[in-house]
Amino acid sequence: MMRGWLSGAVVAVTVALTLGSCASPAYDAATRDGLRQHVLTVAEASAAGDWPTAVAGLDAMADELSTARDEGRIGEERFDTIRLAMEVVRQDLDDAIAAAADEAERQRLLDEQARLQEQIAQLQEQQDDGNDGGNDGRDGNDDDKKGDDKKGEGGKKDD
C-alpha cells in the first residue's frame, strides 16, 4: 500500500518538475502554477491515503489541462507529456486503491475469523460446563437414589 502511494508521489513530483522545466510561449506562469497546485493536492492526498481526494485532484488537473490546451495556453507536446505522466499517476492511484481495498478485506476476514474462533471457544466452554455439570448431577442423583433406596429399604426392613 505504501509503495503505491510512494510511487504515485514520485510520479507526481516528476509531473511537477516536468511542468516547470520547459518554458514555452504557450505555457504561461498562471497555467503552470495552477497545474502545480493540482499536483500538490494529488501528492498530499496520496500521502495521506485519501484516495477519493487524490483522484478528484487528478480529474480536476486533467480538466484544467484540457482547458489550457483548448484555449491555447499550453502546446500540444507539453499537453501530451503531462497527460502521459498523469496516466501513470492514475494507474498508481488505482493500484493503491485496490491494495487498500484488499487490505481492508483481509482485515475484515481476520476480524471475522477471530470473532468466530471466540464463539467456538465460548460454545466449547459451555459444552464442557454442561457436560461436567450434567454428569455430576446425574451421577450424584443416581447415587443419592441408590443410597436413598438402600436406606429406605434398610429402614423398612429394620422397622
pLDDT bucket at 9, cuts 50 / 70 / 90 = low
pLDDT of 142 higher than 60: no
Are the CB atoms for 43 and 86 separated by under 8 Å?
A: no
Task: Please give the Cα distance from 57 to 103 (Å, whole number).
Answer: 24
pLDDT of 68 higher than 80: yes
* Mean pLDDT estimate for the chain: 78
- CATH fold, domain 2-110, is de novo design (two linked rop proteins) (1.20.1440)
- pLDDT recorded at residue 56: 94
pLDDT bucket at 3, cuts 50 / 70 / 90 = very low
- pLDDT recorded at residue 131: 77
Nearest to 8 by CA among 143, 100, 145: 100
- pLDDT recorded at residue 141: 52
Residues whose CB falls within 8 Å of the CB of residue 96, separated by 6 or more in sequence, listed in order: 1, 4, 5, 8, 46, 49, 51
DSSP letter, residue 48: T
Task: Please give the Cα distance from 146 to 123 (Å, whole number).
Answer: 34
Structural domain spans, the chain: 2-110
In the chain, beta strands by DSSP E: none
Task: Please give the Cα distance from 32 to 101 (Å, whole number).
Answer: 34
Q: Which residue has the higher pLDDT, 136 or 83?
A: 83
- pLDDT one-digit tens code per residue, 99-131: 999 999 999 999 999 999 999 999 999 998 877
- pLDDT recorded at residue 29: 85
pTM comes to 0.59
